[in-house]
Amino acid sequence: MGRLIKNHWARLIILTAAAYQVGSAIEGFIWPKVFWDFMTKNLNGAVNPVPVLQILNLIMGVLGLAWEWPLKFFAGTLPHRSIEFRLILYPLSALLSMLLYQGTDPAIYYLIGVGVYFWAYTEGEVDNLEDRDMPINKPTSFNGRLNQYFHAAKHHTQASPALKRKPSDANESNNVPKRPKPSLTPQRITRSRSMTVQETPSPRGETPRASKRNTPAPAPAPAPAVSLLRDTIPPNLTLLLVGVNPGIMTGATGYIYAHPSNLYWKLLHSSGITSIRHPPSDTYRLPELYNIGNTNIVERPTRDASMLSRAEMNAGVPVLEAKVAAQRPEAVCLVGKSIWEAVWRVRKGRAIRKEEFRYGWQGEEENMGRGNGWEGAPVFVATTTSGLAAGMSMKEKQAVWDELGRWVVSRRERL
Instruction: Give the C-alpha separation, 401 to 353, whole Å.
Output: 23
Instruction: Give the C-alpha separation, 352 to 344, whole Å.
Output: 6
Peptide bond into 49 cis (omega under 30): yes
Instruction: Give the C-alpha separation, 10 to 16, whole Å.
Output: 10
Per-residue pLDDT tens digits for 273-292: 999 999 999 999 999 999 99
- Write the CA distances from 300 to 51, 223, 247, integer angstroms: 57, 11, 9
The answer to whether 328 touches 176, Cβ cutoff 8 Å, is no
Per-residue pLDDT tens digits for 193-251: 333 334 444 444 444 454 445 555 554 444 446 789 999 999 999 999 999 999 999 99
DSSP state of 244: S
DSSP state of 390: -
Q: Is 190 exposed, middle or buried (0-12, 13-18, 19+ CB in 10 A)?
A: exposed
Q: Determine the pLDDT at residue 89.
A: 92
Per-residue pLDDT tens digits for 7-36: 889 999 999 999 999 999 999 999 998 887
Per-residue pLDDT tens digits for 322-357: 999 999 999 999 999 999 999 999 999 999 999 999
Q: Which residue has the higher pLDDT, 389 or 287?
A: 287
- CB contact set of 227 (below 8 Å; sequence gap of 6+): 246, 250, 251, 254, 299, 300, 301
Instruction: Give the C-alpha separation, 347 to 363, whole Å.
Output: 14
Instruction: Give the C-alpha separation, 51 to 33, whole Å.
Output: 10
pLDDT at 173 over 70: no
pLDDT at 269 over 90: yes
Per-residue pLDDT tens digits for 372-382: 899 999 999 99
Instruction: Give the C-alpha separation, 112 to 93, whole Å.
Output: 12
Q: Which residue has the higher pLDDT, 144 or 225?
A: 225
224-414 CATH choice from 3.40.470.10, 3.40.1280.10, 3.10.20.30, 3.30.70.890 = 3.40.470.10
- CB contact set of 215 (below 8 Å; sequence gap of 6+): 192, 196
Range in 84-93, 114-123, 195-204, 232-241 the model is least confident about: 195-204
Q: Where are the domains of the chain?
A: 6-131, 224-414
- Say if pTM beats, i.e. exceeds, 0.75: no
Instruction: Give the C-alpha separation, 124 to 411, whole Å.
Output: 28
Average confidence score pLDDT of the chain: 79
Q: Is 166 exposed, middle or buried (0-12, 13-18, 19+ CB in 10 A)?
A: exposed
The answer to whether 345 touches 391, Cβ cutoff 8 Å, is no
The answer to whether 273 touches 333, Cβ cutoff 8 Å, is no
Per-residue pLDDT tens digits for 152-161: 444 444 444 4
Q: What is the share, in percent, of the chain residues with pLDDT greater than 70? A: 74
Q: Determine the pLDDT at residue 215.
A: 53
Q: Which residue has the higher pLDDT, 317 or 198?
A: 317
3-state secondary structure at position 367: coil
Amino acid at position 366, single letter = E
Q: Determine the pLDDT at residue 216.
A: 54
Q: Determine the pLDDT at residue 389.
A: 67
Confidence band (pLDDT; 50, 70, 90) for 172? very low
Confidence band (pLDDT; 50, 70, 90) for 120? confident
Quick one: CA dihedral 407, 343, 320, 312, positive or negative? negative
Residue 93: closest CA among 75, 108, 115, 72 = 108
For residue 360, list its beta bridge partners: 381
Q: Determine the pLDDT at residue 406.
A: 96
Residue 59 parent element (H or E) = helix 52-68
Q: Which residue has the higher pLDDT, 362 or 126?
A: 362
Confidence band (pLDDT; 50, 70, 90) for 128? very low
Q: What is the mean pLDDT of residues 51-69?
A: 92
Helices (H), 177-226: none
Q: Which residue has the higher pLDDT, 178 or 144?
A: 178
Instruction: Kindly report the number of other CB atoms within 10 A of residue 312's CB atom.
Output: 17
For residue 207, list its beta bridge partners: none
The answer to whether 328 touches 236, Cβ cutoff 8 Å, is yes
For residue 296, list its beta bridge partners: 243
- Write the CA distances from 374 to 166, 377, 378, 408, integer angstroms: 22, 9, 12, 21
Q: What is the share, in percent, of the chain residues with pLDDT greater than 90? A: 55
Instruction: Give the C-alpha separation, 333 to 340, whole Å.
Output: 10
Instruction: Give the C-alpha separation, 124 to 398, whole Å.
Output: 10
Instruction: Give the C-alpha separation, 408 to 290, whole Å.
Output: 10
